[in-house]
Amino acid sequence: METSPTTGTDTPRRLRAPEHPVDPRAVRWWVLRALCTTGLVAVVLGVGYWLWVPARPWLVVPLVLAVLWTVVKVVVEPRVRLAVHRWETTDEAVYGLTGWIVQEWRVAPLSRVQTVDAVRGPLEQLLGLSTLRVTTASSSGAISIVGLDKEVAAEVAERLTVITEKIPGDAT
């Protein structure tokens, strides 16, 4: 609850998008991931289409669909994700907004935080990025904030760890 400056009464806080965007290098990370997954499927189907002449009639539809999906994943998805993905941490909670087709807005009160991890896969390491994973006592799973600069992720993880250590209880 928050006190209204005009009436002096308690009013519920309004949900809003978290403040911070992800690092712009995340676009390259999402493009590379798409090329390594859907792009690879399109290449395999293309090679099969080219080498296996009798199979061409039944390979053409999957090949076209794979190429179209790869184009969507490489051109559209990263730009939508960059526009949507937001994150924020306060002394009370961690906020995350993610997705591109289905968007998810999650809040984790720091009193429920169990672990804070900075995770870096091979492509993230190559681009100097990191994923901040905040695990809570919730059955919904961790909040993952992807596409952060590795230094920012380390600083936020350290800050959240210091704050959560001061909160009494076991976060259950």
Q: What is the mean pLDDT of residues 44-71?
A: 95
Q: What angle do CA 83, 84, 90 make, to 5 degrees?
A: 115
Q: What is the pTM of this model?
A: 0.81
- The pLDDT assigned to 49 comes to 95
Q: How far apart are CA 135 and CA 94, in angstroms?
A: 11
Q: If DSSP codes are grouped into helix, strand and coil, which group holds residue 133?
A: strand
Fold of domain 86-166? PH-domain like (2.30.29)
In the chain the beta strands, taken as DSSP E runs, fall at: 2-3, 10-11, 20-21, 86-89, 93-98, 104-109, 113-119, 129-136, 143-149
Measured on CA atoms in the order 168, 141, 161, 103, is the torsion positive or negative?
Answer: negative
Judged by average pLDDT, the poorest of 62-66, 79-83, 106-110, 167-171 is: 167-171
The pLDDT tens digits for 16-47 are 678 999 999 999 999 999 999 999 999 999 99
Judged by average pLDDT, the poorest of 8-17, 33-42, 95-104, 127-136 is: 8-17
Q: How far apart are CA 169 and CA 163, in angstroms?
A: 13
Q: How far apart are CA 171 and CA 124, in angstroms?
A: 30
The domain limits of the chain are 26-81, 86-166
